[in-house]
Amino acid sequence: MDRATRKMVYFAFLGLLLAGSVIALFQADPMLPKDGTVSVYISSIQSDIVGKPTIAGSSPQSGNAPVSGRPSGTLLSLNVTFDSVTIERNDNDSGVTTNTKFTFDVLRPFDVSMLISSAKVPAENVTMVKLHVASAVAAVQGISGLQTVKVPSGELKIPVQPALEVKAQASSSIVISGTAHIVFTGNGIILTPVLHAQKMT
């Protein structure tokens, strides 16, 4: 092998070595995207009502003395507003939280699924979505003004079953649906949804 050929082989070898090093560097580079995008949608929420709304009325036997427990009209609306969505992975970390503002009327089903959040999530399994309730108010026929609705803990915890596998640089979707139980008590209105989340295919 003459000198020119040896030099050509030498530089070719160096070129291959350099190319391999660059590829390895990019594969190990933590700056490369390793997150996936997860979008959270809410679908139709069915509602059921336990008890009847009541107002203070008056009894003919007692003149104008107020009597509680008199049946009133129907529930006209129940608006729930979320101000943040948290997506949690299977290692029970603090999750990824996005601020949002989404209001919907529990009594009015959606025609289509509505997007409420989209976030970059590390490539792990998502097992829980949490919706923070900023406010919940109801309008009841025969009762003046909006009534505050109590949501236990002020947060809706929704398990994702089966878990959603988030892949790097890929997009995934979760759809929330279920039933909203509306309970009228002597102390007001309580909303206790039973929701579940499923990955969209």
Query: Which tens digits make up the pLDDT trace of 98-150?
Result: 999 999 999 998 888 999 999 999 988 999 999 999 999 999 888 889 999 99
- The residues pairing with 25 across neighbouring beta strands, listed in sequence order, are none
Structure tokens of 50? 């336990």
Q: Tell me: do 15 and 106 sit in the same domain.
A: no
Answer yes or no: is pLDDT of 86 > 70: yes
**47/1 same-domain check:** no
Radius of gyration of the chain (CA): 28
Both 12 and 106 in one domain: the answer is no
Which residue range is the domain that position 4 belongs to?
Answer: 1-31
Asked whether residue 21 falls in the same domain as residue 59, the answer is no
Backbone φ and ψ of 139, nearest 5° = -110, 125
pLDDT surpasses 80 at 92: no
Q: Do both 14 and 86 map to the same domain?
A: no
Is the same domain home to 40 and 22? Answer: no
Q: In terms of domains, do 12 and 101 share one?
A: no
- List pLDDT tens digits, range 5-22: 665 655 565 556 655 554
> What's the DSSP call for residue 146?
P
Please write the tens of the pLDDT for every residue from 13-72: 555 665 555 455 445 455 656 899 999 999 988 988 887 665 443 334 434 333 344 445
Q: Do residues 161 and 146 both lie within one domain?
A: yes
Please give the structure tokens belonging to residue 22. Answer: 């660059």
Higher pLDDT, 110 or 179: 179
46 and 96 together in one domain: yes
Are residue 50 and residue 24 in the same domain, yes or no? Answer: no
Shared domain for 128 and 179, answered yes or no, is: yes
- Residue 117 and residue 77 share a domain: yes
CA 125 to chain centre: 16
